[in-house]
Amino acid sequence: METGSGGFSISPDGAWLGIQTVDGPARVPVSGGASQPVTRGADGIPHWSPDGRWIFFTRAGNVWRIASDGTGERQLTNLQGRRGFHNRFDADDRYIYFAWREDVSDIWVMDVDQGLRRSR
């Protein structure tokens, strides 16, 4: 398995590592075994929601989510001309926190279900 640069994330149940491979975001069983792609055509390290239901990732600078079972892929942001990345989820699974960066990063909070964005 060839990995890209960066770190990793751990699923809430501790069973999976989220990594970035040359083919895109993937998950690897902590107990060992082959990596499994989360989706294709994406970049960045996949991150789980605190309840483990969702995996969040980036594609072309936008934030996406997919169910942990690989179904229901959905684009959450439409960031044109900026490079977006996500890095934190709050404890109630309702909001996703991420930064948009150009010359200076802006921190944003988005309601995951409604898709509304607002800066904090």
Distance of CA 85 to the CA centre of its chain: 8
Average pLDDT of the residues of the chain = 77
State the residue range of the domain holding 112. 9-119
Tell me the CATH number at 106.
2.120.10.30
Say if residue 3's pLDDT is above 50: no
Task: Please report the pLDDT score of residue 4 as a whole number.
Answer: 42
Name the domain count of the chain.
Answer: 1
pLDDT of residue 9: 85
At residue 86's C-alpha, the angle toward residues 119 and 39, to 5°, is 140
* Residue bearing the bigger pLDDT, 31 or 54: 31
Do the domain assignments include residue 1?
Answer: no
* Residue 43 covered by a domain: yes
CB 93 within 8 A of CB 49: yes
In a domain, 4, yes or no: no
Q: Is residue 2 part of a domain?
A: no
- The pTM (predicted TM-score) of the whole model is 0.76
Return the pLDDT at 88.
59
